[in-house]
Amino acid sequence: MNINLISDTVTQPSKGMLDAMMNAQVGDDVFKTDASVNELEAKTAALFGKEEALFFPSGTMANQTAIKLHTQPGEQLICDKYAHIYNYEGGGVSFNSGVSCKLIDGHRGMMTAEQVEGAINPPDFYHSPLTTLVCIENTTNKGGGACWDIEELKKIKKVCKNHNLAYHLDGARIWNAMVAKNEKPEQFGELFDTISVCFSKGLGCPVGSVLVGSKAMMDKALRIRKILGGGMRQAGYLAAAALYALDHNRSRLADDHKKAFEIGVALENLPFIKKVEPIETNIVIFEIEEGSITEAVFLDKLLEQGISIIGMGQGKLRMVTHLDYTDEMHAVFLKTLKKL
Ligand SMILES: *Cc1c(COP(=O)(O)O)cnc(C)c1O
């Protein structure tokens, strides 16, 4: 049995999803005549209470488009030091937008409104870059799947308003946050100017992300997506997978969260585990006690049993539960952990 916990992106489309894809009505989305893409965009926009949405081949491209929308070269955005846009998008912030990042030393990828306010450069001080954007990530990836307190997000929104800053949410795993905290998409839609959401993570699609925002924003985003090479033709086959996922794969995320929590409990009982970060959603981040076994040996031992997890650097290891991680695999994995 192969158990792959390196990411929630490793899932294969289910039979139901494949059927939906095969039966999709498609057109040419560059001419905006793909019925399935149009339906997905309308549905996602409505879900978040936004005017419009745009389908993207990746979350990276959706985030990069948002950053480009909200900034001019030379300006600065504010994000946590763990942010995906800063750590894992290939330097796109500077490559695509010519923008720098002011990093906040937050808690598990989350910052306070006070920290954000303190990071804004005075707009009349022309020596420093002009601050124009704040980027949030929910759930936090490098922060271990932590969920934001929506009250703090509201406070940051106020700071943005007072200082004329745009407010973007990298919601690659917002689906997980909403299930874990029983929140509604409109609660995020009313706070943020733009939100990117992923369908290829916990929702189990092969490809796809959507950016939501105002009509004016999405008109601009369409051109940026084109420039970045993200204009796709019969993309409806992919949009159909996302439509299927919206209907079938959201509430079941609670099951991934439960399994992640149980893995965390099992890890805490192992003598050579130094620390397991609190588990709120489907991500488990933990550290091995120094002087016990090395990270490489631990990974090898698991691999011998057909179990793959991933190292995140700085002594941290990560596992992510997902819809292809079955009850049967979970039972085997917990047993294997006990025997290590
Ligand atoms: C996965 C992820 C993205 C987008 O990644 P793609 O692989 O480009 O789809 C963006 N933000 C976060 C927090 C992610 O985990």
Looking at the CA of residue 140, tell me the nearest atom of ligand 1: 13
Residue identifier of the C-alpha nearest atom 3 of ligand 1: 59
Q: Give CATH superfamily name and number for 3-8+252-339.
A: Aspartate Aminotransferase, domain 1 (3.90.1150.10)
Distance 137 CA to ligand 1 centre (A): 10
Fold assignment, 15-248: Aspartate Aminotransferase; domain 2 (3.40.640)
- Average pLDDT, integer, range 291-317: 91
Q: Phi then psi for 197, rounded to 5 degrees?
A: -130, 145
- For residue 63, the model assigns a pLDDT of 98
* 3-class secondary-structure state, position 110: strand
Q: What digits encode the pLDDT tens for the residues 61-86?
A: 999 999 999 999 999 999 999 999 99
- For CA atoms 307, 310, 314, 316, give the dihedral sign: negative
- Ligand 1 first shell, C-beta below 6 A: 58-60, 63, 84, 137, 141, 170, 172, 198, 200-201, 209
pLDDT of residue 290: 87
pLDDT band at residue 143, thresholds of 50, 70 and 90? very high
Residues 147-160, mean pLDDT to the nearest whole number: 98
Mean pLDDT, to the nearest integer, of 213-223? 98
φ and ψ at 327, to 5 degrees? -60, -40
CA of 84 from ligand 1 middle (Å) equals 7
- Checking if the pLDDT of 293 tops 90, the result is no
Name the residue at shortest CA distance from atom 5 of ligand 1.
Answer: 59
Q: How far is the CA of 201 from the centre of ligand 1 (A)?
A: 8
Q: Are 323 and 11 in contact (CB under 8 A)?
A: yes
CATH 3.40.640.10 in the chain is located at 15-248
Degrees, nearest 5: CA angle 245-307-297: 140
State which ligand 1 atom lies nearest to the alpha carbon of 137. 13
Nearest C-alpha to atom 14 of ligand 1 is from which residue? Answer: 172
Cα(171) to centroid of ligand 1, in Å?
9
- If one residue of 198, 200, 281 were mutated to test the ligand 1 pocket, choosing by the most ligand atoms within 8 A of its CB, it would be 198
Mean pLDDT to the nearest integer, 259-280: 96
The pLDDT, as a whole number, for residue 97 is: 98
Q: What is the DSSP letter of 302?
A: H
Least confident of 128-137, 165-174, 284-293, 321-330: 284-293
Beta-strand pair 316-320/283-288: antiparallel
- 23-36: burial string, b at 16+ Cβ within 10 Å, e else: ebebbebeeeebeb
Q: Cβ atoms within 10 A of the Cβ of 133, count?
A: 25
Enter the tokens of residue 338. Answer: 């006990």
Alpha helix segments (H runs only) across 71-199: 84-87, 92-97, 113-118, 150-162, 174-181, 185-189
As a whole number of angstroms, the distance between CA 13 and CA 85 comes to 27
Provide the pLDDT for residue 93. Answer: 98
Instruction: Please state, in angstroms and rounded to a whole number, the distance separating the CA atoms of residues 177 and 301.
Output: 32
Looking at residue 224, its pLDDT comes to 98
In this model, does residue 103 exceed pLDDT 90?
Answer: yes
Q: How do strand 166-171 and strand 76-80 relate by DSSP bridges?
A: unpaired
Residue whose token pair is 């997506």: 225
pTM value surpassing 0.95: yes
Query: Under a CB-based contact definition with an 8 Å cutoff, are residues 68 and 94 in contact?
Result: no
How far, in Å, from the CA of 141 to the mean position of ligand 1?
9
Write down the mean pLDDT value for the chain. 97
pLDDT digit string, tens, across residues 175-217: 999 999 999 999 999 999 999 999 999 999 999 999 999 999 9
CA of 208 to the centre of ligand 1 (A): 10
Please give the structure tokens belonging to residue 279. Answer: 């588990």
Per-residue pLDDT, 310: 95
**Residue 315 CA: distances (Å) to CA of 140, 275, 295, 298, 318:** 18, 11, 7, 12, 10
Task: Give the C-alpha separation, 106 to 285, whole Å.
Answer: 17
> What does the pLDDT read at residue 186?
98
The residue-averaged pLDDT of 286-296 equals 89
CA torsion, ordered 30, 32, 37, 43, to nearest 10 deg: 140
| CB 112 within 8 Å of CB 154 | no
C-alpha span between 327 and 320 (Å, rounded)? 15
Q: Which residues belong to CATH 3.90.1150.10 in the chain?
A: 3-8+252-339
Report the pLDDT value the prediction gives residue 291, as an integer from 0 to 100: 82
> Is residue 98 within 8 Å of 73, Cβ to Cβ?
yes
Whole-angstrom Cα distance, residue 109 to residue 107?
5
Adjacent-strand bridge partners of 168: 135, 194
* 172 C-alpha to ligand 1 centroid (Å): 6
As a whole-number percent, the residues of the chain with pLDDT over 70 amount to 100
